[in-house]
Structure 1
Amino acid sequence: MASTFDATFTSIHQMTPRVKQYLLQVDGHTFSYQPGQHTVISFEQDGDTVKRPYTPVNLPGTDTLALAIKRYEDGTASTWMAERSVGDPLTLTELTGNLHLRDPERDVVFLSTGTGITPMIAMLKQYLREGTGQVAFLYGERTQEDIMFRETLDHLSADHDTLQVLYSLSHEEWSGPTGHVQTHLDEALGDAFDDPHYYICGIPPMVVDTEERLQDRGVEEGRIFTEGWESEAV
């Protein structure tokens, strides 16, 4: 069983109309994990224990985790989190999971939708610190106001010639790409990438469809990384 920690909300910030970022601090503890892995929060509600996995967007080595969580109208945990205040307590676990950077010397492609962006942000930060190749970051959302971490990504792409960022919107006409983000793989990669590793996170149909598209392109299974449960959910 994973170790649990008593954390405290130290900051709550509204990122988009439906997403808040939470800073959770565990006094006296230094988090050690691979960027892209997730923690599990737990709380009591109506006599039941509710548990949900969330991925921090910050790098390890401090006593704080930064979580970005979207509120859903029928979401038990996301609604509960949206009602928290600075100073409130929360129980969370040590971090685990299949999504983490395998080889910083390989070209990489990060592809995500919605809050599936959170492990990608953490891995991107690690890759830009340690990686030596080309990196593409493809992110799909509904509208421009829903895009999470847009300022961060725009700043990083301005600072790093090796980073290319593509946003695709499914519910808004604009000057950029539209439709499902995975349909833009060809235009994003071109001939600039040398047998990259692919990291994918988002709603299960997108993950499965992306895997199938990559396999049709001749990408071996060993170069595609997801959490691993998505096929069963489709």
Structure 2
Amino acid sequence: MASDTLSATLTSIHQMTPRVKQYLLRVDGHDFSYRPGQHTVINFDHDGDTVQRPYTPVNLPGTDTLALAIKRYEDGTASTWMDRRQVGDRIGLTEPGGNLYLRDLDRDVVFLSTGTGITPMIAMLKQYLREGRGQAAFLYGERTQEDIMFRETLDHLSADHNNLQVLYSLSDEDWGGPTGHVQTHLDEVLDGQFGAPHYYICGIPPMVVDSEERLQERGVEDDRIITEGWESDAV
């Protein structure tokens, strides 16, 4: 392992959805210090090469453990490798870092995500509800209700916090709630309720880019739209 790689023990595996598992990875004696929303990088050897993949902890810093929610893709080298791991396995990872984290706890916030892009949003939402001083909206897009990650957590948080509203939008299921691309519901959530919020966006690149364009058309300044910054190159 590289010198900046920590050796973690896999202590728990929980099946969250049919294709997503949550993994608890502990580094004994280590105190993880990072900004919620930042990502770790998992490292492993595969067919003679070193594979590195970023994943975002959904838990807050200050402990020896990272909680990662990882979706299995049939053609995904890292996700299928993680899917085969067992409790007790050792896994290499880095101290979290990156550009996605809360910029201003005094400002209203809007979290917009699809798929496993929800993971940094969950971490940032937990921090904001603990330390923030404004209104928060959490918009999450998935295919079906069965695919929704952290639904119980989000429902409990929205029940416990009057300053939080949660919206799920499904693209492949006819149900009683919103449908279609999640970013198309921005107007109904934002109109008249938020004062110049920061927008945190993570998910598939076309959603991120489309969301940025919609917000720019609304007159939102670029410095109020925070993403990882690579999405336009991936579309």
**TM class by smaller structure:** over 0.9
- After TM superposition, give the deviation of residue 2 of structure 1 in Å: 8.0
- Worse-superposed segment, 41-50 or 62-71: 41-50
Structure 1, unmatched stretches of 5+, are none
Q: Distance in 2 between matches of 1:150 and 1:2?
A: 38
Partner residue of 1:94?
95
Residue 206 in 1 paired to residue 202 in 2? no
Once the two structures are overlaid, the 10-residue window that deviates more, 141-150 or 44-53, is 44-53
1:221 aligns with 2:203: no
Q: How does 1:128-207 map to 2 (within 5 A)?
A: 128-207=129-208
Q: Is the 8 A contact 1:137 1:166 kept in 2?
A: yes
Looking at structure 2, the residues matched to 58 and 194 of structure 1 have their Cα atoms a distance apart, in angstroms, of 28
Q: Secondary structure at the match of 2:229?
A: coil
Q: Which amino acid aligns with 2:116?
A: T
Q: Within 2, Cα distance between the matches of 1:96 and 1:126?
A: 16
Report deviation, 1:190.
2.0
Question: Which amino acid in structure 2 is aligned with residue 226 of structure 1?
Answer: T
Residues of 2 paired with 1:143 and 1:8: CA distance?
33
RMSD over aligned Cα, in angstroms? 0.9
List per-residue Cα deviations over 1:129-188 (Å, max 9, x = no partner): 000100000000000000000000000000000000000000000000000000000111
Q: What is the SS of the residue equivalent to 2:186?
A: helix
Q: How does 1:25-36 map to 2 (within 5 A)?
A: 25-36=26-37
Matches for 1:3-42 after TM superposition, within 5 Å:
3-42=4-43
Greater mean deviation of Cα atoms: 116-125 or 186-195: 186-195
**Structure 2: which amino acid aligns with 1:170?**
S
1:104 Cα offset (Å): 0.6
Q: Partner residue of 2:54?
A: 53
Instruction: Tell me which moved more, 41-50 or 5-14.
Output: 41-50
Alignment match, 1:120: 121
Q: Does residue 71 in structure 1 map to residue 68 in structure 2?
A: no
Could you list the per-position Cα deviations for residues 25-62 of structure 1 after superposition, in whole angstroms to 9, with x for gaps in the alignment? 00010000000000000111111111100000000000
Deviation at 1:119, TM superposition (A): 0.1
The 3 A distance-change label for structure 1 pair 123 and 77 is: same
Question: Could you say what secondary structure the match of 2:201 adopts?
Answer: strand
For 2:127 and 2:24, locate their aligned partners in 1 and report how far apart those are by CA, in whole Å: 19
What is the CA–CA distance in structure 2 between the aligned matches of 1:209 and 1:114, rounded to whole Å? 16
Q: How many residues align?
A: 234
Say if 1:2 and 1:93, in contact at 8 Å, map to a contact too.
no
Counterpart Cα distance in 2 of 1:231 and 1:47 = 32
Alpha-carbon distance in structure 2 between the residues aligned to 1:133 and 1:212: 25
Structure 1 residues 122 and 2, CA gap change in structure 2 (3 angstroms): farther
- Shift of the 214–2 alpha-carbon distance from structure 1 to 2, 3 Å rule, reads farther
CA offsets, 1:52-89, max 9 Å, x none?
A: 00000000000000000000010000000001000000
